[in-house]
């Protein structure tokens, strides 16, 4: 047993210090980024924000909507090959959609059928997603996936420390997904005691990733996954060194989201649940196995309407952050940012009256 005494930080532990800025308008802030990925060699341009590969966010409808903004949707892994074929017959934006799978043999077998059906050219990203990337089996599967999909950009995780970030990249991933227990629909921390404050995880993993490079293409990248509650948390993730941001909560509860719609007392709600929750395991595996415990929430969110309105708000918030720190581009956030450790960051005195 050992104890680390260094303070680790979450998004709500800090504020961003304002700095002198020469920007004259939020319109001039560039949110799109261009990356060349170290293993796939592909070059991609877009806004580096992704809807999580959850039943309630990684939907076909969300992909159609977010593509308009050059954002990525990681489709949930439970679509059938036939459903994917039908969707891709009329959807042609491979740069903004990701295929998702886990490390089970049946997941890889299904991916093989997807590729055999000629659908591999319809998506340029593949997400290898497990809650715990510290398993040796996961590391081996990263290598297997790279061999199976040599030309795809691989996103793999989740982890929260530098040594596994480096290992995942060296085994074939282009982007490492960072975050354990930080998601709003995740109860891993309360059930297992395991986790890592998200901002510190992003800072440490991005530092490790950016030190690994392919001279012919680019460096290793990280995707902050989870912990973003407010638009300001997206700004903090990018300021902390995240190259991409993935969120479930940001994209839950909209017209384009999955989940059943419930009406109570004249108000509409939409279901949102974690992929390790009882609801998810009941839906896909017939219940929670005896050797497992549920590690996710199942909640009803007030219906939020059209996701396009939220995207406009999110983009506006990021542009406003840029004007406060003098960043002309999203790419400059980490170079321009100074974090202040705080014990109270929001004035909530009027919330009871909203």
Q: Domain residues for 235?
A: 31-284+295-340
Is the pLDDT score of 337 beyond 90? yes
> Residue 345: its pLDDT value, please?
77
- Does 247 map to a domain? yes
Residue 231 confidence (pLDDT): 97
Q: Which residues of 160-191 are buried (b: 16+ CB within 10 A; e: fewer)?
A: bbbebbbbbbebbbbbbbbbbbbbbbbbbeee
pLDDT tens, residue by residue, 229-244: 999 999 999 999 999 9
Which sequence positions are flagged as catalytic?
186
How sure is the predictor about 280, in pLDDT bands with cuts at 50, 70 and 90?
A: low
Helices within the chain (DSSP H only) = 60-67, 81-88, 105-116, 136-148, 162-170, 188-192, 198-209, 231-239, 278-285, 307-325, 333-336
Is the pLDDT confidence value at 134 over 80?
Answer: yes
* C-alpha span between 29 and 6 (Å, rounded): 35
Residue at 349 is within a domain? no
346 in any annotated domain: no
Residue 240, domain member (yes or no): yes
User: 18-22, 74-78, 290-294: lowest mean pLDDT where?
Assistant: 290-294
Would you state the pLDDT for residue 285?
A: 63
Q: pLDDT (tens digit, 9 = 90+) per residue, 313-324?
A: 999 999 999 999
Q: How far apart are CA 105 and CA 344, in angstroms?
A: 47
pLDDT recorded at residue 25: 86
Predicted local confidence at residue 292, as pLDDT? 58
Q: Is residue 2 part of a domain?
A: no
Mean pLDDT for the stretch of residues 185-200: 87
Domain-embedded: residue 261 = yes
Residue 10 lies in a domain: no
Query: What CATH number corresponds to the domain at position 64?
Result: 3.20.20.70
pTM, two decimals, is 0.93
In this predicted structure, the answer to whether residue 294 has a pLDDT above a threshold of 60 is no
Percentage of residues of the chain with pLDDT beyond 90? 77
Buried b (16+ CB within 10 A) or exposed e, 336-354: bbebeeeeeeeeeeeeeee
Q: How confident is the model at residue 341 (pLDDT cuts 50, 70, 90)?
A: very high
Residue 190, in any domain of the structure? yes
User: Domain tally for the chain?
Assistant: 1
């Amino acid at each position: 047993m050992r104890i680390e005494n260094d303070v680790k930080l979450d998004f709500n532990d800090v504020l961003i210090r304002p700095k002198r800025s020469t920007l004259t308008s939020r319109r001039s802030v560039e949110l799109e980024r261009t990356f060349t990925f170290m293993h796939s060699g592909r070059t991609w341009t877009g806004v580096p924000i992704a809807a999580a590969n959850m039943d309630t966010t990684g939907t076909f409808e969300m992909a159609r909507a977010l593509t308009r903004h050059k954002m990525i949707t990681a489709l949930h892994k439970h679509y059938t090959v036939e459903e994917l074929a039908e969707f891709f017959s009329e959807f042609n934006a491979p740069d903004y959609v990701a295929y998702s799978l886990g490390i089970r043999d049946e997941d890889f077998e299904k991916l093989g059928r997807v590729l055999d059906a000629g659908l591999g050219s319809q998506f340029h990203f593949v997400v290898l997603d497990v809650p715990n990337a510290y398993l040796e089996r996961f590391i081996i599967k990263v290598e297997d996936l790279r061999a199976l999909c040599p030309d795809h950009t691989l996103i793999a995780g989740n982890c929260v420390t530098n040594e596994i970030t480096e290992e995942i990249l060296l085994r074939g991933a282009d982007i490492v997904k960072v975050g354990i227990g930080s998601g709003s629909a995740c109860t891993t921390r309360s059930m297992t005691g395991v986790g890592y404050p998200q901002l510190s995880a992003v800072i440490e993993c991005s530092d490790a990733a950016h030190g690994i490079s392919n001279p012919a293409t680019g460096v290793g990248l990280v995707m902050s996954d989870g912990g973003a509650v407010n638009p300001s948390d997206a700004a903090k993730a990018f300021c902390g060194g995240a190259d991409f941001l993935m969120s479930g909560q940001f994209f839950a509860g909209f017209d384009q989201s999955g989940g059943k719609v419930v009406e109570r007392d004249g108000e509409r709600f939409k279901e949102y649940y974690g992929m390790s929750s009882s609801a998810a395991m009941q839906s896909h595996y017939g219940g929670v196995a005896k050797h497992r415990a549920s590690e996710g929430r199942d909640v009803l969110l007030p219906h939020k309407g059209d996701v396009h309105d939220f995207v406009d708000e999110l983009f506006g918030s990021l542009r406003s952050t840029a004007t406060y720190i003098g960043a002309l581009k999203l790419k400059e956030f980490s170079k321009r940012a100074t974090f202040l450790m705080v014990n109270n960051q929001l004035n909530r005195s009027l919330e009871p009256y909203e």
